[in-house]
A and B are shown apart, each in its own frame.
Chain A
Amino acid sequence: KAGVTQTPRYLIKTRGQQVTLSCSPISGHRSVSWYQQTPGQGLQFLFEYFSETQRNKGNFPGRFSGRQFSNSRSEMNVSTLELGDSALYLCASSFQDGEQFFGPGTRLTVL
């Protein structure tokens, strides 16, 4: 079974731009969660989607948004990028209330 895939793996943007990251969960998994990892703040929960509905949201500004499609693939979008948005963005999928499986992450650098 293929694991969680995230594209792109690396991304460089400049301040003020917007970015879209993609996550394909493990086949059959309907829940997708997103996390931001930075050296200063560590791993922080962004949001979770289940069956195309946002079920839970972390404490991030409205510039961070996401969505989930009918095939469970998910995207997250960050608008008006700031230097502090530079981070590793991790996606995790799970089946019902089971273990979360993480993808390799997208490394976003904002210049």
Chain B
Amino acid sequence: AQSVTQLDSQVPVFEEAPVELRCNYSSSVSVYLFWYVQYPNQGLQLLLKYLSGSTLVKGINGFEAEFNKSQTSFHLRKPSVHISDTAEYFCAVKRSGSARQLTFGSGTQLTVLP
């Protein structure tokens, strides 16, 4: 089985400052890793994914994440945040292969302050 831990439930940050949202996972098998964003009253939108290859993954809206196998981490970063980045962010893992089941972390509420 897989599990995901998002270490911070809430992250306040000032506009134009950098941000890092932390994610650690646990799995006995090979996994794929994802970050999703959820705006109020909406579904989930994929920010980026790691399937294989380069450990630095670039996503939409200027976000990037680095897969660290030895530390079993997949932290999300953005060098300069905007007010519009205020949302809840979810880290998720999926067992590699055809199974679709995603295991999600508990989420991190990012609040960008003016």
Contacts and interface: CB of A to CB of B under 8 A. Distances in A.
Interface residues of A, number: 25
A48 B100 CA distance: 7
Nearest to B44: A102
Interface string B22-53: 00000000000000100001111110010000
B37 to A, nearest CB: 11
B67 interface: no
Interface residues of B, number: 21
Interface in A33-59: 33, 35, 42-45, 48, 50, 55-56, 58
A103 B44 CA distance: 7
Interface stretch (B68-76, B77-85, B101-109): B101-109
B89 interface: no
Given A45-B101, A100-B100, A101-B46, 15 more contacts: A4-B43, A31-B100, A42-B105, A45-B102, A48-B99, A48-B101, A50-B100, A92-B44, A92-B102, A96-B98, A97-B97, A97-B98, A99-B46, A102-B36, A102-B45
Interface of A: 4, 31, 33, 35, 42-45, 48, 50, 55-56, 58, 90, 92, 94, 96-97, 99-105
21 contacts: A33-B102, A42-B104, A43-B90, A43-B92, A43-B104, A48-B99, A48-B100, A55-B100, A56-B99, A56-B100, A58-B101, A90-B44, A94-B100, A97-B97, A99-B46, A99-B49, A101-B46, A102-B43, A103-B43, A104-B41, A104-B43
